[in-house]
Structure 1
Amino acid sequence: MTDYPRPPFPAQAQTVPGSQRKMEPYPDCGEQSYRGSGRLANKIALITGADSGIGRAVAIAFAREGADVAIAYLDEHDDARETARWVEEAGRQCLLLPGDIAEKATCQALVDKTVEQFGRIDVLVNNAAFQMSHETFEEISDEEWVKTFDINITAMFRICKAALPHMKAGGSIINTSSVNSDMPKPTLLAYATTKGAIANFTGGLAQMLGSKGIRVNSVAPGPIWTPLIVSTMPDEEVQNFGSQTPLGRPGQPVEVAPIYVLLASDEGSYISGARYSVTGGKPIL
């Protein structure tokens, strides 16, 4: 209750996609606190959106649990190199994969390069996302609507399809949904709609891949302090971000990472088709 920052936060508008290096307070991705115990020893993980925020926290946790990690990101090279440094300090290999997953060719290339480097994929984490805030329906352009779907759900379909031939029984796919998947925030209409689609995609894919021994789950975070927030929300919302939760603050990326570790590990061997909420006390259906 007292270890992490509480609002109000300073105004700090950034351009999309935002940089973690410029945030105040600086997000806690477990750099100094996460302790591994070999739960993912020698696994190979591909994580999208892993330069910062939840993706970085997951990459650090996976590495400290014994996994080699491929980090996919758009063009936030400084943030990505910082994530890679923490992965390598954990004694694991890290592959940096910049590119726009709104492009079909990029989705295939992420998988191809990961397999070329590591030989297989044991864990796939689809975490990258795009959002913008709008007060009215009329403000949402056709181009932005399509872009949001291309990045948040179509890329997920494409990356899963490309990765599947390189995943064996015991593999795990983890998709990042959101508390918005069943409680959509109207100012995030396009984003919230894709997050509902992700929840359904995950449930259906889990049933399709069960016979192959591949588990599929999703994580539904509530308000988590990441660059996506400061680069896409109005100043007033950023300053009060997370204050509406029962715990009275936003979550830090490190507080989300442990559920990804469970779902990636062999300890989660009978968990599939599930959606896990990390919301600071706000229930989801």
Structure 2
Amino acid sequence: MQTKSQTSREAAKQRHIQRRVDAKDKSKGNDKAQHAMQAGARNYPEPPFPEQHQPKPGHEWAIEPAPLYDAPYYLGSKKLEGKVALITGGDSGIGRSVAVLFAREGADVAIVYLAEDRDAAETKAAVEKERRRCLLIKADVSEREDCRGAVETTVKRFGRIDVLVNNAAFQIHSNDFSDLTEEHFDTTLKTNLYGYFHMAQEAVPHMKPGSAIINTGSVTGIEGSKQLVDYSITKGGIHAFTRALSGNLIGKGIRVNAVAPGPVWTPLNPSDKEADDVSKFGSDTPMKRPAQPEELAPAYVFLASPHCSSYITGEILPVVGGY
């Protein structure tokens, strides 16, 4: 049994430890670690951003600061040499960066986009800068005939499809569940689920063993989002679709995987959120900033390349900035 002097010394020691920790906690208010984490080859923009709001479907050329997609420090190593990739939503955001890195790895690229001609032309120029061919296809992935036409046009131009990236998406918030209209709900499901289903079903007959399908899921499909009930439903569905389709196609030698991004600085968000919310976008992640598209694109290269991921199928790869 300890004496009174011993217990007093122990209590004093504990208070000393407490004072030291309290002092460190107070000093952390000015600590750099409280700001956005920068762990890449270059520093990425962090909130607050300029307040901005765009009409759907959003335009990359109008976003401030401009999304970073060209990954200047990423060196290609022929991971997709001679391949043909078809990317929906490839005119901007994640899709644009994926197109550029696929081209840097040796692939020709066909891009499906809805209406953003200026963005699509810039993506085409970026792909051609990598000395690969780029085909632009304006289409609505929610329509079966448009998906069939996109696949047929790609095969006619390039002779094959080795990689399908289902990336096009519709997202707009609804703060009150009762405000989520049937039209809104239907548009989200038709674009995000039907679009992936249509594109995969049309592309698979043209894909040979060793081909890959990559679907863009979302952290909302893992955690849910109270303001994006319909979008969360579709992204969770995409994750399930990925796992189910991977089993269905394994006998054909076609791998199916998904990338589940957290917040990414793309036209999807300024065309969804109110201007004030856009200025704070990504600040609630552990890294305290949104990802830039070029931070997502290498994950798609990894899943597309048989050199990197030949034994991976049915997986969901979260790239969310920490949990």
TM-score (norm 1): 0.97
164-173 or 97-106, larger mean C-alpha shift: 97-106
Q: Note the 1:103-252 alignment, pairs <5 A.
A: 103-252=143-292
The alpha carbon displacement at 1:139 in A equals 1.2
**Structure 2 counterpart SS, 1:241:** coil
Structure 1 contact 34–254 (Cα < 8 Å) conserved: no
8 Å contact from structure 1 (residues 31, 86) kept in 2: no
The answer to whether structure 1 residue 64 and structure 2 residue 104 are counterparts is yes
**Deviation of residue 31 (structure 1)?**
5.4
2:310 corresponding residue in structure 1: 269
Runs of at least 5 residues in structure 2 that lack an aligned partner in the other structure: 1-36
Whole-Å separation in 1 of the counterparts to 2:167 and 2:315:
16
Query: Letter of the aligned partner of 1:273 in structure 2?
Result: G
Match of 1:84 among 121, 124, 129: 124
What is the CA deviation profile of residues 84-143 of structure 1, one whole-angstrom value per residue up to 9, with x for unaligned ones?
A: 001011110100001111111101111010011111100000000001111111211111
Work out the CA distance in 1 between the residues paired with 2:144 and 2:282.
35
Equivalence for 1:43: 83
CA distance, structure 1, for counterparts of residue 176 and residue 144 of structure 2? 31
SS of the residue 2:291 aligns to: coil
Structure 1 residue 236 displacement after superposition: 2.3
Find the aligned partners of 2:145 and 2:51 in 1 and give their Cα distance.
37
Moved over 3 A (4+): 31-34
Q: Measure the CA separation in 2 of the matches of 1:182 and 1:84.
A: 33
The alignment's C-alpha RMSD in Å is 0.9
Q: Report the counterpart of residue 20 of structure 2 in structure 1.
A: none
CA distance in 2, matches of 1:39, 1:216: 18
Distance 2:57 2:183 in 1: 17
Structure with the greater alpha carbon radius of gyration:
2
Select between 122-131 and 35-44 the one with higher mean Cα deviation. Answer: 35-44
User: What are the superposed Cα offsets for residues 16-62 of structure 1, whole Å, 9 maximum, x if unpaired?
Assistant: 11111011111001254432111100100000000000000000000
Give the whole-Å Cα distance in 1 for the aligned partners of 2:71 and 2:242.
Answer: 29
SS at match of 1:110: helix
How many percent identity over aligned positions? 51
Instruction: Give me the whole-angstrom Cα distance separating, in 2, the residues matched to 1:37 and 1:152.
Output: 32
Which structure 1 residue ranges, 5 or more long, are not aligned?
Answer: none
Give the residue type in structure 1 aligned to 2:310.
S
Structure 1 residue matching 2:270: 3-state secondary structure: helix
Q: Of the candidates 66, 69, 74, which is equivalent to residue 34 of structure 1?
A: 74
Q: Which amino acid aligns with 1:39?
A: K
Note the alpha carbon deviations across 1:216-240, whole angstroms, 9 max, x for none: 0000000000000000112222111
Aligned residue number for residue 17 of structure 2? none
Quote the Cα distance in structure 2 between the aligned partners of 1:100 and 1:31: 29
In structure 2, what is the Cα distance between the partners aligned to 1:59 and 1:280? Answer: 22
Report the count of equivalent residues.
Answer: 282
